[in-house]
Amino acid sequence: MSENIIETNGLAKSFGNQWALYNINVNVKKDITTGLVGPNGAGKTTLFSLFCGFLKPTKGSVKILNHEPDHPLLRGRISILPQDASLLKTIPVGKQLTMFAELQGFKKRLAVEEAERVLEMVNLSSSRHKTADQLSHGMLKRIAIAQAFIGTPDLILLDEPTAGLDPGTTDNIKSVIRSLSKNTSIIITSHNLEVIEDLCQQVIILKEGRLHSDEKVSDLTARTKALTFRLEQDADNSIRSVLKALDIVTEVKLGKPGQHRLVVHYSSDAGQMAEIEIIKCLAENNIPYREMIRGERLQESVTDRLG
């Protein structure tokens, strides 16, 4: 049996004469959380829609658990949270979730219990009798996320699951996703790369409709071999040669103007003294910093790759 939950082969989609995606070959592994990232217009929504079966490929193929995305055997095994998911305004949200559960095959009593279960997951049990127009934007987002968690799907597709949520609610949703990821394959699209870094083990990067890379998040961030500094101001380019004069330093990257960023890669066998030597070098050259992060954040790594 394949270790992949999704497999694409030469997948492409055009709208008229414009190719939104071209020659996408990716394998999404089972039972991990995968991030799908890229700038606006990269093709993320189109690829998501092909995974869901909302769109048909122009060329190539996509298989979910060895089936076409709209195959009857996949009903109830795939759950989707579209970015623009909305709820009916005049029906209590608990009743709506119960209806969604019934559509997935739950009997009435069990559907009510399932609706209560997913509401509790997003800390909104007390809002079950309220209608959508009585809830805030953040609460509606959490209800929509709860809908995606109904049942025991093999694959959950979440499009911008934390967009518009406050930090506390975002942490709650991330915690729920982590708990689900132990038994479910999850794919997340997000412009917030901190969310992708926190939750995902694999990341698929799209650029201009093509596959830019498909890698482990740990490989992209290289946590144990770099220090990322948030500086008080942009560093002069001369700091490159100063830092590279250290035997332990293998690469120095400066952020774009206004980013106040400095990433220093060092040898994997440099030991604990590497951080001290690098920090001492910055102090000696009057380069103050506001924050230091061990490793290169995904934000910086992806930004560098996409140019």
Q: CB neighbours (10 Å) of residue 126?
A: 9
Residue 108 Cα distances to 11, 122, 221, 293, angstroms: 40, 22, 47, 51
State the SS3 of the chain.
Answer: CCCEEEEEEEEEEEECCEEEEEEECCEEECCCEEEEECCCCCCHHHHHHHHHCCCCCCEEEEEECCECCCCHHHCCCEEEECCCCCCCCCCCHHHHHHHHHHHCCCCHHHHHHHHHHHHHHCCCHHHCCCCHHHCCHHHHHHHHHHHHCCCCCCEEEEECCCCCCCHHHHHHHHHHHHHHCCCCEEEEECCCHHHHHHHCCEEEEEECCEEEEEEEHHHHHCHHHEEEEEECCCCCCCHHHHHHCCCCEEEEEECCCCCCEEEEEECCCCCCHHHHHHHHHHHHCCCCEEEEEECCCHHHHHHHHHC
1-26 pLDDT, tens digit per residue, is 568 999 999 999 999 999 999 999 99
pLDDT in single tens digits along all 307 residues of the chain = 568 999 999 999 999 999 999 999 999 999 899 999 888 888 998 999 999 889 999 999 999 999 999 898 988 889 888 877 788 888 999 999 999 999 888 999 999 999 999 999 888 999 999 999 999 888 888 888 899 889 988 999 999 888 878 888 888 888 888 888 888 899 999 887 778 888 999 999 998 999 988 888 877 665 457 888 989 999 888 999 999 999 999 989 888 788 888 989 888 777 778 889 999 999 999 999 998 887 766 666 666 666 5
CA neighbor of 97 nearest in space, from 121, 73, 78, 74: 121
Confidence (pLDDT) at 163 = 83
pTM of the entire predicted model: 0.74
**CA 273/CA 271 separation, integer angstroms:** 6
pLDDT tens digits for range 205-243: 998 999 988 888 877 665 457 888 989 999 888 999 999
CATH annotation of 222-306: 3.30.70.100
User: Can you identify the CATH homologous superfamily of domain 4-219?
Assistant: P-loop containing nucleotide triphosphate hydrolases (3.40.50.300)
- Parse the chain into domains and list their residue ranges: 4-219, 222-306
